Amino acid sequence: MTDHRTDTVSSDSAAMAPLPIRAADIQMAQARISTVIAPTPLQYCPRLSEESGADVYLKREDLQDVRSYKIRGAYNNVAQLSPEQRAAGIVAASAGNHAQGVAYVCRTLGIDGRIFVPDQTPKQKLDRIRVHGGDRIEVVVTGRNFDEASAAARAAAAESGATLVEPFDARNTIIGQGTVAAEILAQLTSLGKTADTIFIPVGGGGLIAGVTSYLADMAPRTAVVGVEPAGASSMQAALAADGPVALETIDPFVDGAAVKRVGDLNYRVIDRNRSRVHMMSVSEGAVCTEMLGLYQNEGIVAEPAGALSVAGLKEFRSRSGDVVVCIISGGNNDVLRYNEIVERSLVHRGLKHYFLVDFPQEPGQLRMFLEEILGPDDDITLFEYLKRNNRETGTALVGLQLGAATDLDPLLERMAQSRIGCRQLQPGTPEYHFLT
């Protein structure tokens, strides 16, 4: 049996590289990218500090030119290609942010590229890819998810002879992402502080692998918390199986982290650092709640993956006075998604519920529902009534927003005591999924 902790990767030529990645590698990358990529701010967050009891800082990778940390790995990777490789062009696959980084690099370095993105990529990200790449790039929309788009990119690279620029499972990409950690430690040092815990969004594993590699050498006492969306917890699946495995299904909502299978090299880095890394999952609804919180309180437009770290902080018990950093990994969020974001947040907070209500087809039944069943702070947000002839009842689909989550049990009690039949639709059921 092959030892999964060996120091080489053989499953894919793009991932074949010696381990471990050292801080010196990342420091060299930092010097390499510094002529193009400026450091992002590390901002103290009074609200999250008060709520958690820790001193919370936000690493604002959403303020990159491409609104994501992905430009670091993309530039570090492409900048080291030979003249012959550059002339042959590059190919990349991405859920959106890596694509923008690659597009930016293609235009900056004068290299032609083809970028493959999955069907569910938000229009905002597609538009930004084209803006950053200009006439240097071709965008190909294909596949239901990142993994299918990645397969198409690999086939195109093999056919054309172009270089495949991996979004996470490549040594130079990981090293580039690790420059985030180098900046964080330097910025904290200038404040006379050291990091106790760093919360990191996790999709394919490039960012957490790079940050963890740097901390292992430069800040070995700093804990790493990797935060995955509950609908795509591929790193936790890999750690449980002692190797990367493909999830059968994923929820694509947190599009920047919706990856079925983590990279081989990324997994190996985390596997070697199990003692310093804690992995956790947060629900998509919790992510939406923190996206809204960041926007309403700090004025930060975070994409779903960008808010993963803060959602993880909210569900993690930090020690009072600890210095905690949450990496806001990206800010490429389509404003057209905010209705869904608000809806998911309300459901997560226990404020939004749906019911099928059978009204007796008699005068005054709606008034009875309003007066005897609804509470003073309950609001009807959806009402669709289907009246059928020759039936004693007519069914309505009713959406209710409560004043507080604790109002649900009294509401259900009033429904149970009423002659009006009410059935709550439960999240996770086919009818609820159809509704939302």
Among 273, 386, 297, 284, smallest CA distance to 337 is for: 284
- The SS3 of residue 252 is coil
- As a whole number of angstroms, the distance between CA 147 and CA 259 comes to 7
Q: Which residues pair with 91 in a beta bridge?
A: 114, 164
- 123 assigned to active site: no
DSSP string, 262-313: --HHHHHHHHHTTTTEEEEEE-HHHHHHHHHHIIIII-----TGGGHHHHHH
Question: What are the CA-CA distances from residue 304 to residues 42, 81, 190, 241, 257 (Å)?
Answer: 20, 32, 30, 27, 8
Catalytic residue among 309, 329, 345, 352: 329
Contacting residues for 214 by C-beta, under 8 A, at least 6 apart? 23, 26, 178, 181, 182, 185
Catalytic residue chosen out of the listed positions 70, 125, 260, 352: 70
Find, among 332, 318, 409, 392, the residue nearest to 358 by Cα.
Answer: 392
Could you give the strand order of the β-sheet that contains 323-328, starting from the edge strand earlier in sequence? 42-44, 55-60, 323-328, 197-201, 223-229, 277-282
> Which among 161, 200, 196 has a CA at the least distance from the CA of 180?
200
Whether 193 is catalytic: no
H and E: helices and strands count for the chain: 18, 14
254 in Cβ contact with 231 (< 8 Å): yes
Cα distance between residue 266 and residue 328, in whole Å: 20
* Among the listed residues 153, 157, 151, 159, the one whose alpha carbon sits nearest the alpha carbon of residue 139: 153
Residues assigned a catalytic role: 70, 329
